[in-house]
Amino acid sequence: MLFITGRQWSFSGGITVENTTEICKTDAEILLCFMALKDSGFAFKYAKRENGIFQQYVNCNGKVYGPYDYVASFSNCHGITEWVGQKGDIAFKYTNDGKDCKTEKIKEITQEEIDLLLSGIVGDASEIPEENYNEVTHVLRLNRKHQDFFITDNKKYGPYYSITCSEYQNENSFQFIYWKRNNSKNWYYNYNGKEIGPFKGNPHPAVYYDEQNRAVVDNISDCNFILINGEKVKCFREAYYACRLYEKNEHQIIVGKASNEELHFKRDGIMLPFVIKDITVLDNGDVVYSKIQEDTETWFYNDKQISVPVKGYNSTIYDSIITYKRDDQEQSDDVIPYFMLKGKEYNGMAIQTYKGGGFVHLAEGAIQFFPWCVPNILDIIFIESSEKYDRYCNGMFQGLYYRNQLAGRD
């Protein structure tokens, strides 16, 4: 079973016998995914070649399940895992850490079955309250009539089919986005009682008041502008969209997305001539980003490199380790996780356990573990934890910058 101390820590040395724990012997050739379970349990998905074809397996607490053509829905709920192993047109649905299994023939689901499933999820209409009011968003919802109203102390705006997001400061300072009709291609924005629009497309915006107390709407899909105090502000000469605005320590950073989903940004009006995958804006106005060059990603702090280039995508830095993913159809139909430490590549990933964080990897016929500081990304839904996570990331990036180190090498 998996045994991990409760201490989260990082170290400058490489992986050694002294700080690595063997979790489980395995015949895996490729580690695909690992999960720590309750009571020091574990489960991992892996692949190995049989008769020239890679097959997938699951090892749950030392018991092997498979082979399968593909393992889907490999998930962990409250420390108990479940998964679906597909073999031909048969699905083996395992629950309760593999103790229970049901087999089903895979078939295409019809629209009628989808409608019945959704009706079951929604439940009996008589059980839905006739109306509900949210004191934070100031939205009154009449559920059975499919009508939304925005409520201030002296006025009611609506009815609308849907109000998707809103911010309220006082009677004279508020903003919200709404749809007038179901299945409409147009949405509208209300700024302090003034209707602005219509706008085309399906928005997933961020509506907020910035540090200067300006009403801001950004991250608008299909649009190369943001709204500031109800006015359109164009972001790029190029046809980028879903633009995001950051203003920190008298620096302005604007990020936009191209039609191929690639990200671009400019800082203080200067456009950077390359593509990025991810970006973090620090409180001091500095930027940390992963730069895409062909099939590699490299991290920079402003214009200074702080990681080795890695062949892969979706890279993340954990102090002196950089993680990433890579597709290799010759080895697996699944995404393969890797990390780089001290210039060496490992097939593995960062994990959170019930007693601390660390890294697992496949080596010498076994799944190995060593402890490391791995913040729990799920904690950032709480404001206090989010601020703590941001401080950790900012300190980590600045540490690499000022010590002239490269994650993945030093």
Taking only the tens place, the pLDDT of each residue in 135-176 is 999 999 998 888 999 999 889 999 999 998 999 999 999 999
- pLDDT at residue 129, as a whole number: 79
126 pLDDT tier (thresholds 50, 70, 90)? low
Residue 8 has pLDDT above 60, yes or no: no
> How far is it, in rounded angstroms, from Cα 126 to Cα 18?
63
Nearest to 377 by CA among 395, 355, 357: 357
| Contacts of residue 233, Cβ cutoff 8 Å, sequence gap at least 6 | 225, 226, 227
- pLDDT at residue 18, as a whole number: 57
Helix (H, G, I), strand (E, B) or coil at 148: strand
Rounded mean pLDDT, 188-201? 92
The per-residue pLDDT for range 312-353, each reduced to its tens digit, is 999 999 989 999 999 876 666 689 999 999 999 999 999 987
Amino acid at 25: K
Rounded mean pLDDT, 66-92? 90
Q: Which residue has the higher pLDDT, 291 or 385?
A: 291
The contacts found for 57-64 with CB under 8 angstroms, 24 or more apart, are 57/28, 58/83, 58/85, 58/94, 58/98, 59/24, 59/26, 59/28, 60/97, 60/98, 61/1, 61/37, 61/97, 61/98, 62/1, 62/24, 63/98
Helix (H, G, I), strand (E, B) or coil at 387: helix
Helix (H, G, I), strand (E, B) or coil at 132: strand
- pLDDT at residue 6, as a whole number: 32
Residue 40 has pLDDT above 90, yes or no: no
Residue 376 has pLDDT above 70, yes or no: no
What is the distance of C-alpha 392 from the center of its chain? Answer: 18
| Percent above pLDDT 70 for the chain | 85
C-alpha distance across the termini of the chain, in Å? 31
- pLDDT at residue 378, as a whole number: 58
Residue 51 has pLDDT above 50, yes or no: yes
The vertex-13 CA angle with 9 and 16, nearest 5°, equals: 95
Q: Which residue has the higher pLDDT, 392 or 146?
A: 146
Q: Would you say 65 and 98 are in contact if contact means Cβ atoms under 8 Å apart?
A: yes
